[in-house]
Structure 1
Amino acid sequence: MVPKDGHNQTLFDDVDMLDTWRAMENLVTGGLCRYLGLSNFNVRQIERILTNSAIRPSVLQIESNISFPNQSLIDFAQTNGIVVTGYFVLGCPYFHSKLTKRPLLESQEIREIANKYGRTTAQVALRHGLQRGLCVLFRSKTPLRLAENFQVFDFELSSDDMDRLALLGTGERILKGAAMRGHPEYPFEENDRQ
Structure 2
Amino acid sequence: MEVAYIVFILSFNIKYAYSATDTSVYLLNDGHKIPTVALGTSLGHLSDLWNDAHDIDEVIPALKKSLDDLKMDYVDLYLMHYPMAYSKNGSVKNTDYIETWKGLELAKGQNLARSIGVSNFNITQMKRLWENSTVKPAVLQIEVNPSITQVELVDWCKEHGVVVMAYSPFGGILGRKKDAPPPHADDPTLVGLAKKYNKTVPQILLRYLLDRQLVAIPRSTNKDRIKENIDIMNFSLTPDEVENLSKFNSDYRLRTPVKWYSHPEFPFEKKNLSDAEIKYIIEHSKED
TM, length-normalised to structure 1: 0.86
1:150 aligns with 2:236: no
Of 154, 162, 167, which residue of structure 2 is paired with 1:87?
167
Of 193, 202, 214, which residue of structure 2 is paired with 1:122?
202
AA aligned opposite 1:99:
A
Aligned residues: 186
AA aligned opposite 1:150:
I
What is the CA–CA distance in structure 2 between the aligned matches of 1:137 and 1:113, rounded to whole Å? 21
What is the deviation of 1:106? 3.5
Structure 1 vs Structure 2: percent identity of aligned residues? 30
What is the deviation of 1:109? 2.1
When residues 36 and 4 of structure 1 are mapped into structure 2, their CA distance, relative to the original with a 3 A threshold, is closer
Alignment of 1:96-111 (within 5 A): 96-100=177-181, 104-111=184-191
What is the deviation of 1:183? 0.7
What is the CA–CA distance in structure 2 between the aligned matches of 1:167 and 1:142, rounded to whole Å? 31
SS at match of 2:164: strand
**2:260 alignment partner in structure 1:** 180
Of 220, 228, 239, which residue of structure 2 is paired with 1:159?
239
Moved more, 93-102 or 139-148: 93-102
**Structure 2: 5+ residue runs without aligned partners?**
1-47, 51-85, 271-288
List, as ranges, runs of 4+ consecutive aligned residues in structure 1 with deviation greater than 3 Å: 2-6, 92-95
**1:58 alignment partner in structure 2:** 138
SS at match of 2:149: coil
When residues 97 and 76 of structure 1 are mapped into structure 2, their CA distance, relative to the original with a 3 A threshold, is same
What is the CA–CA distance in structure 2 between the aligned matches of 1:101 and 1:152, rounded to whole Å? 23
**2:192 alignment partner in structure 1:** 112
Preserved contact between residue 86 and residue 137 of structure 1 (Cα < 8 Å): yes
What is the deviation of 1:163? 2.2
Structure of higher RCO (CA pairs closer than 8 Å, 6+ residues apart): 1
**Structure 1: 5+ residue runs without aligned partners?**
none
TM, length-normalised to structure 2: 0.59
**1:189 alignment partner in structure 2:** 269
What is the CA–CA distance in structure 2 between the aligned matches of 1:63 and 1:5, rounded to whole Å? 29
1:77 aligns with 2:176: no
RMSD (CA atoms) = 2.3
SS at match of 1:26: helix
**2:68 alignment partner in structure 1:** none
SS at match of 2:269: helix
